[in-house]
Amino acid sequence: MVSRRAVLGALGALGALGAGAAGVSAALGGEEPLPPRADQAVAGGAMSTPKGGSNGFTPAVRRLLVQSERLFSAQRGKEITFLTVAPPGVETLKLPMVLLLHGLYGKAQDALVGNLPDVLVSAVAKGAVPPFGFVSVDGDNNYWHENVAGDDPMGMLLEEVPRWLADRGFSRPVACAGVSMGGFGALLYARRKLERKERIKAVAAISPGLLTSWAEMAKRKAFQDAGQWESLDPLRHPDKLKNLPVGVWVGDRDPFIEGTRKFIQAVRPEVGSVTPGGHNDEFYRTITPDVVRFLGKQLSTT
């Protein structure tokens, strides 16, 4: 059972995201900044769009349906946060859910970059996309794979998240998206789903953490050695995503621009967007409307 406090706390956190929570933490000398955190939100706030632009969508006026729970993950051997976000006024039974993966040093709530909740609510309300929701979990800092024995975030995504969603009446994940390290993870998740012959409808990578040198990736201490990284790196296995709709968005000043450009050239995704911006929420707010449209378009296909 989800406590009222947990639900209100989640609403408050998401409200702060919608209101443009200040503060961007930098990791690894500023190479991989985090999206804004929402730790000081007012509980129960409705979503709003900050001054200076609406991302092309009308600000949401109704509250999201949010649940934030602490669950034990056997795959990870620890408690994690399990967060679901659904638009208001829609049937949540069997609601299609998009898995949303956070970046380095993030938590479940940090995956909701670029005012994504508000953008989703507005798009659904206007009929621009079919109703769907987001589900996010804590993955820690190991690029969504089992870097530490007994702590397998990818196993959690593949084995536990579908069951947790079903227990709450939602659909299994029908698509995956992620930002930064989570973009790397989303592409790896899509590969694993295809290998298991469990097809998803789309994968969306926002500023994916695709590096071109082991010396840079080694700084993150997320892989045992170069061989392990190369075996998992989406940039080195573009053929693993054949016939899957892929969307990629990156800023032209992003520290991952070199690897992401190479990935776009190799995969030729349905959307391969390089536009002005860096690796931060200011940029993410310019592209999340397109991300939501891309996901909605793919989810509407049979």
CA atoms within 13 A on the CB side of 163: 11
DSSP summary character for residue 226: H
pLDDT digits (tens, 9 = 90+) for 51-69: 333 444 444 445 788 999 9
Strand, helix or coil at 69? strand
As a whole number of angstroms, the distance between CA 167 and CA 165 comes to 5
Strand, helix or coil at 47? coil
Model confidence, pTM: 0.84
As a whole number of angstroms, the distance between CA 219 and CA 124 comes to 41
pLDDT digit of tens for each residue in the chain (302 aa)?
443 334 434 444 454 443 333 322 233 223 454 433 333 222 222 333 333 334 444 444 457 889 999 999 999 999 999 999 999 999 999 999 999 999 999 999 999 999 999 999 999 999 999 999 999 999 999 999 999 999 999 999 999 999 999 999 999 999 999 999 999 999 999 999 999 999 899 999 999 999 999 999 999 999 999 999 999 999 999 999 999 999 999 999 999 999 999 999 999 999 999 999 999 999 999 999 999 999 999 999 86
Give the residue from 252, 288, 248 showing the smallest Cα distance to 271: 248
As a whole number of angstroms, the distance between CA 225 and CA 117 comes to 37
pLDDT digits (tens, 9 = 90+) for 119-134: 999 999 999 999 999 9
Amino acid of residue 2: V
Amino acid of residue 275: T
4-21+30-299: CATH number: 3.40.50.1820
Q: How many CB atoms lie within 10 A of CB 126?
A: 10
| Phi, psi dihedral angles at 249 (to 5 degrees) | -130, 130
